Amino acid sequence: MSAPKPSEITPEPLYRRRREFLKQSIGIGLFAATGKASALVLPRGPFPRRDEADGEKVTPWKYATTYNNFYEFGTDKEDPAENARRLRTDSWSVTVEGECERPGTLALEDLVRPHALEERIYRLRCVEGWSMVIPWLGFPLAALIKRFRPTSKAKYVVFETLYDPEQMPGQRWPILEWPYVEGLRMDEALHPLTILAVGMYGKVLPNQNGAPLRLVVPWKYGFKSIKSIVRIRFQERQPVTTWMRAAPREYGFYANVNPHVDHPRWSQKKERRIGEFFKRDTLMFNGYAEEVAHLYRGMDLGKYF
Ligand code: MTE
């Protein structure tokens, strides 16, 4: 990941923003049969779509779908939009395993169907220093976790992206250790702000944004929001995630957005909202402190970054 440009002064006054997601269910037909396989298809609408949340404008679709990080499809921002076309997301299945009473491999539709979709407008803050505001369509990860009945040993939830160098040309290069792995502490995974997304902007997720299923954890740097998930594992030990393995001094397990803890190579105090000219102040926990600060009470966030 490359370093951001030097800071500019933000015209945006720091103010406490309320929790800003729109909670509306869209419990309607999610899947359509397409020949043998079954693909995730969202209905045509109307969707409970808004263009802003608490005074912050949703990032235009064209930026959210052409300025991406998805190293499986290349390391340049425009690579995923170009190369992820070849990803086949029909007949997708997800394996849930480890410390739980009901492990198994489920077709995507069986994994998602029990859940009513909600639109959540969240800020996404990349560790590189840019941010967007995205209207996700998804459901709480907590609801999915409960279905699999984790045991008392399940202290962490680990996620893995598909490994298939045929479809994901970036995986032919040892840029990162594949497959991409991320993880959350159980209380983070169960937090109501944590969702699994299957869509955005009222549509099915574009491949470059992590189709057909991705994690979204809005108070953490974007790299925690793992894309194209095929495996979810409950385990007792804290996992070593992809970015921790790649650069342990730079990327920690927690990766909470924190303007007071700089990246070793650049400041995290400001960010550039994609589509805007001036930089703005980065907010503690990406503006979700009221909801999540209690998860880290008593922890040294400089040590547990
Ligand atoms: N997931 C996988 N599997 N591979 C990746 O390279 N990049 C992460 C995250 N999820 C990444 C990933 C990073 S660094 C960011 S900032 C977000 O995806 C970007 O999400 P977006 O492209 O939808 O904005």
pLDDT tens string 173-195: 999 999 999 999 999 999 999 99
Domain count, the chain: 1
Backbone angles phi, psi at 63, to 5 degrees: -75, -45
Q: Residue 215: give the domain boundaries.
A: 6-296
221 CA distance to ligand 1 middle (Å): 10
- Is 230 inside any structural domain? yes
Paired sense of beta strands 37-40 and 214-216, if any: unpaired
- Cα 26–chain centre separation: 20
Residue 283: how many CA atoms within 13 Å on its side-chain side?
Answer: 22
**How do residues 122-173 score in pLDDT, each as one tens digit?**
999 999 999 999 999 999 999 999 999 999 999 999 999 999 999 999 999 9
Q: Report the atom number in ligand 1 closest to the C-alpha of 70.
A: 6
70 lines ligand 1 (CB under 6 A): yes
Q: Round the average pLDDT of the chain to a whole number and report it.
A: 88
Q: Does residue 305 fall inside a structural domain? A: no
Q: How far is the CA of 215 from the centre of ligand 1 (A)?
A: 10
Q: Is 235 in the pocket of ligand 1 (CB under 6 A)?
A: no
pTM: 0.89
Chain segment 30-67, per-residue pLDDT in tens: 555 444 445 676 655 555 677 888 789 999 999 999 99
From the alpha carbon of 180, which atom of ligand 1 is closest?
3
**Domain of 98: which CATH number?**
3.90.420.10
DSSP-based three-state secondary structure for 66:
coil
Domain assignment present for residue 179? The answer is yes
Q: Is residue 187 part of a domain?
A: yes
First to last CA, the chain: 17
State the closest ligand 1 atom to the C-alpha of 126, by its place in the atom list counted from 1.
16
Q: Could you count the other beta carbons within 10 Å of the beta carbon of residue 274?
A: 17
Which of 3-7, 142-146, 216-220, 254-258 is the least confident region?
A: 3-7
- What is the structure's pLDDT at 54? 79
Ligand 1 neighbour 71 (Cβ under 6 A): yes
Q: Which of 258, 276, 220 has its CA nearest to residue 56?
A: 276
Is 301 domain-assigned? no
Q: Is 227 in the pocket of ligand 1 (CB under 6 A)?
A: yes
Residue 303 lies in a domain: no
